Amino acid sequence: MSINRREFLATGATAAAGLAVTPEWPAIAGASTPAPRVALPVVIASTNGMRGVKVAYDMLMRGEDTLDAIIAGVNIQELDPADQSVGLGGLPNADGVVQLDASCMHGPTRRAGSVACLEDIATPSLVAKAIMDYTDHIMLVGDDAKRFAVDMGFRTQNLLTEKSRQDWLRWKARLNASDNWLDHDDDVKIKFHTGTINMNAVNAAGDVSSVTTTSGMSWKIPGRVGDSPIIGAGQYCDNTVGAAGSTGRGEANIKVCGAFLAVEQMRQGKTPEQALMYTMERVVAMTEKRLLDDRGRPFFDLSFYAVAKDGRFAGSCAYEGGDFAVCDASGARVQKAVYLYKANERPRGPVNGRR
């Protein structure tokens, strides 16, 4: 049964098949030993998705669709004005304007949607899904993406909260020591922020989906697009293998198509941990010298998350100390990520790897 665009916004979900008994999944293609039995469903995310993974997991347990579930999970952060990494209250670009990016993929139908440089709409993940559901396209950007969203019934609002505006003003005051703005180094820390939320899920039937949403790098050049809305970089899923996504320095991830690479490594038989570590190594290998110290270690960090079709999962980062959120039959919790380098090996260098 079809629904119109107004009903889409009201429901935020499509009809889904009933929950199946957890099957004994075969080994991923190329693996030398059978994959262990894992209790499904499983939802994983960056740590800012801690509330969201539980919401998504509960929806999966009710038999709802994997993509609907994880988009409902990331909507929590998109609509939270206290979260300055995504959606409402996100930190703005250099002009003081909040520009949002998001993308999603639905494993069972092999469809995807993406939106970039979206302004005045708090839930870019839902706009990306609307592009997937109602158009023959995959990506819309800028003013035309906003016009599409408005035509679909999305509500416009000012996304710049007072807290984020004050942070932007303080950042702006520090740009030129000779201007007429006063610095506030003693009473406030100026954040350089690359916050994003990625969430991936597999249900009891082995269907997978992925979504990534962000307000992007704070104080970015207007029009900058990171990895989050890039299918295969910020997130990717293949219903025969699994799903993966990332948070952190998008410019480093785009060059290796990290989410796609991680899924392809799982297809070839690697565990999620092995696939993510390989992807991190490729990121470092493809990083330009100005962003590496004299030992070849990156000044920036980047995190990846992956879940296989059989329910195995992992998170990874460049440096020790990272973690990620997961929810399965054992409940919602934070787990440690695998890493390339020890914490004491992190170089002291330019902020976010910029010179």
Q: Report the C-alpha gap between 243 and 127 in whole angstroms.
A: 21
Give the span between the Cα atoms of 60 and 52, in whole angstroms.
12
Rounded to whole angstroms, the Cα distance separating 132 from 126 reads 10
Helix (H) or strand (E) holding 151: helix 142-151
On whether the CB atoms of residues 310 and 266 are closer than 8 A, the answer is no
Strand blocks (E) in 290-337: 302-308, 313-319, 323-328, 331-336
CA distance 262 to 279: 6
Report, in angstroms and rounded to the nearest whole number, the Rg of the chain calculated over CA atoms: 20
DSSP state of 179: S
Q: d(Cα 312, Cα 148) in Å, to the nearest integer?
A: 38
Q: In the 8-state DSSP scheme, what is residue 121?
A: -
14 is known as an active-site residue: no
**Residue ranges in 215-328 assigned as alpha helix (H):** 250-254, 258-267, 272-285
Among candidate residues 66, 123, 161, 196, the one labeled active-site is 196
- 214 - beta bridge partners? 101, 196
- Token pair of 144 as six digits: 């035309």
DSSP state of 58: H
Tell me the angle at which helices 124-134 and 142-151 cross, rounded to the nearest 10 degrees.
80
Strands 208-214 and 100-106: antiparallel
Q: In sequence order, what are the residues at sequence separation of 6 or more whose Cβ sits closer than 8 angstroms to the Cβ of residue 112?
A: 103, 104, 105, 106, 132, 138, 231
**Active-site residue numbers?**
196
